[in-house]
């Protein structure tokens, strides 16, 4: 165990040195997202139990609650008891929160979220036009707290902050797998911490109808397996989100992805029932019948009911992946298309959307839809959520539609935080005109639910979403990957303090898999593994809603620190293989740690069926590590590899990329770079 710790410490130490080199002597910046404008000076505001807060200008219940949450978090973090009294007069306080007013009664795209934060050696001041802006400032304030051996302090800084994009969302699909209310609340806490402002709640799917309708009780009565949110719970979520400056945009996906609706209401469908809840994933042929008045009457009733629960000006109608198969097979629908001159399924869907739009307008809602709703038949106030590529977003903007980018932010692709981070909703290089650029509202992270359960969801969302949140909030030029990962590591710990379990989940799941607390070796193994992408897993495992999600792949987390650490050390080493002793030593320590742990890892993998699926990975690990050590030797000594070594080693790496075990090694691209750099 000591040896395993040693390598971890070395990796951490080099991260720490990296941070220290960038920081001024009193301020290590771990802010995430990075503010629009920040200057820091030498002074500091010491932390003590006399810390006090005042709201001399304006306060309301929402601001008061946000202040209490902040005080509690700071007290927990520092172990310093704090007075919870907030003064509203002009008496001096350590933190003065100067707010002009409450902000919008129903938060819209135009809510003013900006704030300034000024910390001097004697006190701090947050100034904001709205309570939402002040809450953003309070999050920054908490992130600024610095720790040193003798106590805590706040650095002297001047911050002027405002978001780059107005729409900074996270979508969660609760249709494929239901997520309990507490999970949603924790997620909202995490979103608030990193200044995301839209919770897009995907509530209906082929696999489950998750929101109570009193008008149509068979929707959840027959289409949810009893797993749904009551209207009171949905209102509770909306209020919880609003308390944190987060809008809730519900999605009711139509006309496809609707099989769960048809279990209780088969007449909505384009072919006769009966229907059952779909358990498989993928695209479903069943779709609503757009030709019948009764369909629109039903939707009108349902949307009217939902409009009472969800006050946001926007409602998402889905619109994705409607394959038209049922429409083609139904002679009555085909005849309807001929008489209405509707050429194809896309035209019929546009016809359907025009009717939906009228219903939404009647209930004072703007329409949001996935790419497929983009059609000249629809007016320009429809917002397009682009999931098939950035091109559809710019096409929409060129046609005058507002849009949100999601395609690069699909968390189930199991990409690195860096890859998501570098994808910009509106890159400087975009060919859009200034007017067209103004149509890009922002971006949304998508957390699809096929392979999620309430235990693993946090580890799929966090901390990667925090990096994306920075992309949506901070200036485009804030894009240094090393610095992002340094700050992300700090934010990840802060997020866990909110009750999220993205870090703790792995150990708990490994203990459960191994049936023992003795998981040191498995932990080393898991530290260099991550889940394969959604599609790789789906293809290997043919997952459905009924597949138990209790495998090693469900335990490990995407983009663990090892990936970036090994990559950074590899690049550092390759710059001067003969001279860089430090990077070489750090890489060697990591490779040796894996070799040392291998026998214990393999013994544990052989001990139980759910771990045995990864046995091939267990035997590959020491072989790959040995190849890494060999590459380091050849490179640092400047010698050629023996004949056949490179070919053999690259074949070993290629075999280790096979997605069969559902988990993949994090370091293979770096190892491949090392091996390819060896002269032969």
- Which residues carry out catalysis? 321
* Least distance from ligand ACM to the Cβ atom of residue 370, Å: 5
Q: How many helices (H) and strands (E) does the chain have?
A: 27, 20
Q: Are 540 and 660 in contact (CB under 8 A)?
A: yes
3-class secondary-structure state, position 528: coil
With CB under 6 A as the contact rule, the residue among 387, 401, 409, 534 that binds ligand ACM is 387
Pairing of strands 198-202, 167-173: parallel
Q: Which is nearer to ligand ACM, 321 or 496 (CB)?
A: 321
Quickly list H helices, 407-545.
417-422, 434-437, 457-461, 464-473, 481-497, 504-514, 520-526, 534-541
The DSSP symbol for 50 reads: T
Residues with Cβ within 8 Å of residue 557, at least 6 apart in sequence: 459, 460, 502, 503, 505, 506, 530, 531
* Least distance from ligand ACM to the Cβ atom of residue 481, Å: 27
* Least distance from ligand ACM to the Cβ atom of residue 384, Å: 12
* Least distance from ligand ACM to the Cβ atom of residue 571, Å: 34
* Least distance from ligand ACM to the Cβ atom of residue 268, Å: 20
With CB under 6 A as the rule, give the number of residues binding ligand ACM.
4
- Match 């329409």 to its residue by tokens: 367
Q: Are 373 and 353 in contact (CB under 8 A)?
A: yes
Q: Which is nearer to ligand ACM, 33 or 175 (CB)?
A: 175
The DSSP symbol for 27 reads: B
Q: Which residue is nearest to ligand ACM (CB)?
A: 320
* Least distance from ligand ACM to the Cβ atom of residue 320, Å: 4
- The C-alpha atoms of residue 514 and residue 552 are separated, in whole angstroms, by 10
- The C-alpha atoms of residue 371 and residue 401 are separated, in whole angstroms, by 11
Q: Are 34 and 159 in contact (CB under 8 A)?
A: no
- The C-alpha atoms of residue 581 and residue 284 are separated, in whole angstroms, by 57
Q: Which is nearer to ligand ACM, 202 or 564 (CB)?
A: 202
- The C-alpha atoms of residue 671 and residue 673 are separated, in whole angstroms, by 5
**Backbone CA torsion sign across 650, 654, 655, 656:** positive
Q: Which is nearer to ligand ACM, 387 or 462 (CB)?
A: 387
* Least distance from ligand ACM to the Cβ atom of residue 202, Å: 9
* Least distance from ligand ACM to the Cβ atom of residue 392, Å: 11
Long-range contacts of 47-50 (CB under 8 A, 24+ apart): 47/78, 47/80, 47/145, 47/151, 47/152, 47/153, 47/154, 48/80, 49/80, 49/81, 49/82, 49/83, 50/94
- The C-alpha atoms of residue 34 and residue 37 are separated, in whole angstroms, by 8
Per CB under 6 A, does 370 bind ligand ACM?
yes
Which H helix or E strand runs over 386? strand 383-386
Q: Which is nearer to ligand ACM, 217 or 389 (CB)?
A: 389
Which residues from 563-592 bind ligand ACM, rule CB under 6 A?
Answer: none
* Least distance from ligand ACM to the Cβ atom of residue 261, Å: 17
Q: Are 283 and 325 in contact (CB under 8 A)?
A: no
With CB under 6 A as the contact rule, the residue among 285, 320, 496, 673 that binds ligand ACM is 320
Q: Are 347 and 325 in contact (CB under 8 A)?
A: no
With CB under 6 A as the contact rule, the residue among 75, 98, 285, 321 that binds ligand ACM is 321
How many residues are recorded in the chain?
680
Which residues from 329-368 bind ligand ACM, rule CB under 6 A?
Answer: none
Q: Which is nearer to ligand ACM, 165 or 281 (CB)?
A: 281
Where on the chain is the footprint of ligand ACM (CB under 6 A)? 320-321, 370, 387
């Amino acid at each position: 165990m000591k040896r395993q710790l040693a390598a971890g410490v070395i990796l951490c130490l080099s991260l720490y040195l990296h941070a220290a080199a960038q920081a001024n002597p009193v301020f290590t910046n771990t802010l995430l997202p990075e503010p629009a404008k920040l200057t820091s000076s030498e002074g500091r505001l010491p932390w003590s139990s006399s810390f006090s807060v005042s709201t001399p200008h304006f306060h309301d219940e929402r601001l008061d609650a946000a202040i209490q949450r902040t005080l509690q978090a700071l007290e927990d973090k520092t172990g310093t008891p704090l007075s919870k009294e907030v003064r509203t007069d002009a008496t001096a306080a350590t933190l003065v929160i100067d707010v002009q007013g409450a902000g919008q009664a129903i938060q819209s795209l135009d809510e003013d979220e900006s704030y300034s934060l000024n910390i001097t050696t004697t006190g701090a001041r947050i100034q904001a036009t709205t309570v939402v802006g002040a809450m953003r400032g309070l999050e920054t304030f908490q992130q600024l707290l610095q720790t040193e051996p003798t106590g805590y302090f706040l650095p002297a800084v001047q911050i002027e902050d405002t978001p780059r994009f107005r729409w900074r969302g996270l979508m969660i699909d609760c249709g494929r797998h239901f997520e309990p209310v507490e999970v949603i609340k924790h997620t909202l806490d995490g979103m608030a911490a990193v200044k995301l402002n839209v919770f897009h709640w995907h509530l209906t799917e082929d696999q489950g109808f998750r929101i109570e309708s009193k008008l149509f009780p068979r929707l959840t009565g027959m289409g949810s397996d009893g797993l749904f949110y009551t209207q009171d719970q949905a209102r509770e979520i909306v209020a919880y989100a609003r308390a944190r400056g987060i809008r809730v945009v519900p999605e009711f996906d139509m006309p496809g992805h609707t099989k769960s609706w048809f279990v209780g209401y088969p007449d909505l469908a384009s072919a006769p029932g009966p229907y059952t809840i779909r358990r498989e994933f993928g695209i479903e042929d069943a779709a609503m019948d757009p030709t019948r008045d009764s369909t629109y009457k039903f939707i009108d009733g349902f949307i009217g009911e939902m409009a009472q629960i969800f006050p946001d000006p926007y409602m998402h109608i889905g619109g994705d992946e409607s394959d038209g198969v049922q429409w083609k097979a139904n002679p009555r629908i085909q005849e309807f298309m001929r008489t209405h001159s509707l050429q194809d399924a896309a035209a019929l869907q546009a016809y359907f959307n025009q009717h939906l739009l009228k219903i939404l307008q009647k209930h004072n809602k703007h329409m949001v839809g996935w790419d497929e709703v983009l059609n000249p038949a629809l007016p320009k106030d429809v917002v397009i959520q682009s999931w098939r590529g950035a091109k559809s977003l710019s096409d929409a903007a060129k046609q005058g539609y507002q849009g949100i980018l999601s395609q690069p932010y699909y968390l189930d692709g199991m990409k690195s935080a860096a890859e998501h981070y570098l994808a910009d909703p509106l890159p400087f290089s975009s060919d859009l005109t200034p007017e067209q650029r103004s149509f890009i509202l922002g971006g949304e992270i998508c957390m699809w639910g096929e392979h999620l359960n309430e235990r693993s969801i946090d580890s799929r969302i966090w901390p990667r979403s925090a990096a994306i949140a920075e992309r949506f909030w901070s200036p485009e030029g804030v894009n240094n990957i090393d610095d992002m990962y340094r700050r992300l590591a700090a934010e990840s710990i802060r997020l866990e303090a909110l009750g999220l379990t993205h870090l703790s989940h792995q150990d708990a799941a490994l203990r459960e898999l191994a049936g023992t607390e003795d998981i040191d070796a498995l932990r080393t193994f898991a530290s260099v593994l991550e889940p394969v992408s959604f599609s790789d897993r789906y293809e290997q495992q043919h997952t459905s809603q009924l597949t138990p999600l209790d495998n090693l792949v469900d335990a490990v987390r995407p983009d663990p620190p090892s990936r970036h650490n090994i990559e950074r050390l590899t690049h550092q080493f390759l710059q001067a293989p003969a001279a860089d002793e430090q990077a070489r030593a750090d890489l060697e320590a990591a490779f040796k740690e894996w070799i040392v742990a291998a026998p214990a890892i393999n013994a544990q993998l052989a001990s139980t069926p759910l771990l045995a699926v990864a046995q091939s990975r267990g035997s590959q690990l020491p072989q790959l590590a040995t190849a890494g050590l060999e590459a380091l030797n050849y490179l640092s000594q400047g010698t050629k590899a023996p004949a056949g070594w490179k070919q053999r080693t690259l074949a070993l790496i290629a075999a280790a990329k096979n997605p069969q075990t559902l988990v993949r090694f994090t370091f293979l691209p770096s190892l491949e770079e090392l091996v390819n750099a060896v002269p032969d």
